[in-house]
Amino acid sequence: MNSILRNDKYCTILEEEEDMFSDVCTNDGKKLWEYGIVPYVFNDNVSDELKKLVMEAMKRITRVSVIKFVKRMNQRDYIKISDKGKFSSYVGRIGGKQNLHVTKDEIRWPNTVGSVMHELMHALGFYHEHCRPDRNEYVHVGRTSRNYERFKESDVLCYGPYDFESIMHYSEKQGVMLIPGVNARIGLYVSPFFLFLLLPSSHNNIFPQLK
């Protein structure tokens, strides 16, 4: 693995996202949250209304996974959630305070909870589905920015088959098209749940010290 990782960059969503999940993850254990516990704090600029939406997004993830979001006490590593008029997050744990940006703009992002979930998934260590090493077998990506880079197999862990309907998958409007012969819905984010996190054999692979 390269010493400079792609997941040191910000990943920013382009349009609305729904409330479902992905299955392509960093394979760098240092980027994962121990025991699946993610401490967080809110910036003072986050309104009470937006806080409730963020908390709902957290609940939807914890209901179907081993993840726990907890209010920060004195933990060294944590996410600071701020309203910056956009959605963005680092991929995985970077150490110390790390920013996660959210907002409430129903014109640009009609599903605020889904958009927050997308960024929380990034913070947990998950990439965009259309960046999987095997993506060329299913979709054509017509853009070249960092949100569209295809990863090498050595850089990520992929769980399960390619998920066209992942919350982490961009839509056709965002420059990701099905290749001829592939019949699927894309970018609709209707996958049922985070299957691999429900499998005991996978827990140790995703979150260190989780037994």
Q: H/E/C letters for each residue in 17-42?
A: CCCCCCCEEECCHHHCCHHHEEEEEE
* Residues taking part in catalysis: 119
**Average pLDDT for residues 2-20, to the nearest whole number?**
32
In terms of C-beta density within 10 A (0-12 exposed, 13-18 middle, 19 or more buried), how is residue 161 classed?
exposed
Residue 211 inside a domain? The answer is no
State the pLDDT at residue 11. Answer: 34
State the pLDDT at residue 70. Answer: 98
**Which CATH number belongs to the domain containing residue 115 in this structure?**
3.40.390.10
**Average pLDDT for residues 90-95, to the nearest whole number?**
95
With 70 as the cut, is the pLDDT of residue 97 above it?
A: yes
- Using DSSP bridges, classify how beta strands 97-102 and 78-83 pair: parallel, antiparallel or unpaired: parallel
- Using DSSP bridges, classify how beta strands 37-42 and 68-71 pair: parallel, antiparallel or unpaired: parallel
State the pLDDT at residue 207. Answer: 52
109-139 tens-digit pLDDT: 888 998 899 899 999 999 998 999 999 999 9
Give the single-character DSSP code of 80.
E
Between residues 54 and 192, which one has the greater pLDDT? 54
Task: Please provide the distance, in angstroms rounded to a whole number, between the alpha carbons at the two ends of the chain.
Answer: 26
The pTM assigned to this predicted structure is 0.78
With 70 as the cut, is the pLDDT of residue 165 above it?
A: yes
Structure token digits, residue 194? 């985070």
Residue 113 inside a domain? The answer is yes
Residue 95 inside a domain? The answer is yes
Residue 154 inside a domain? The answer is yes
Residue 189 inside a domain? The answer is yes
**Backbone dihedral angles phi then psi of residue 189, each to the nearest 5 degrees:** 60, 55
Question: Confidence band (pLDDT; 50, 70, 90) for 154?
Answer: confident
**Collapsed DSSP state (helix, strand, coil) of residue 210:** coil
Residue 114 inside a domain? The answer is yes
Total domains in the fold of the chain: 1
Mean pLDDT computed over every residue of the chain = 80
- Domain range for residue 119? 6-206
> What are the Cα distances from residue 19, in Å, to 104, 151, 187?
15, 24, 11
Question: Confidence band (pLDDT; 50, 70, 90) for 42?
Answer: very high
How many Å apart are CA 63 and CA 101, to the nearest integer? 23
Residue 1 inside a domain? The answer is no
